[in-house]
């Protein structure tokens, strides 16, 4: 089962917004700071009405991975991003070369005793 691409500052959400800085500036993924749970995103959408209701953006939540970055779960493609004033968005872009939650790992050193 393949993992999901790690999200970074500047990666896009389904509503056309992006994950905002600072992220975790000491952890670079594809040259950009890693994004984590509770980081914020922008949202340019509006819910129709009189007057229209701006979504504004909000926190990244519901990350289902156990990899921590900056003391919080790392954000990945598919995670939920709250939109104040509208339905939530999802993270739709991430670093394709850094996959989180693939279930692999282990490898070990295989030393000879």
The pLDDT value recorded for residue 16 is: 93
Is the pLDDT at 88 greater than 70, yes or no? yes
- State residue 90's pLDDT score: 95
Mean pLDDT of the chain: 88
* Mean pLDDT, residues 39-51 taken together: 90
Best CA proximity match to 37, nearest among 11, 70, 75: 75
Question: Which of 30-34, 55-59, 98-102 has the highest mean predicted lDDT (pLDDT)?
Answer: 30-34
Residue 113 pLDDT > 60 = no
């Amino acid at each position: 089962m393949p993992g999901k691409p790690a999200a970074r500052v500047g990666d896009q959400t389904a509503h056309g917004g992006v994950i905002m800085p600072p992220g975790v500036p000491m952890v670079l993924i594809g040259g950009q700071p890693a994004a984590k749970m509770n980081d914020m995103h922008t949202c340019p959408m509006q819910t129709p009405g009189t007057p229209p209701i701006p979504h504004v953006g909000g926190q990244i939540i519901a990350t289902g991975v156990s990899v921590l970055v900056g003391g919080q779960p790392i954000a990945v493609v598919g995670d939920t991003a709250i939109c104040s004033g509208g339905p939530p968005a999802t993270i739709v872009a991430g670093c394709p070369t850094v996959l989180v939650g693939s279930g692999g790992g282990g490898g070990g050193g295989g030393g000879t005793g």
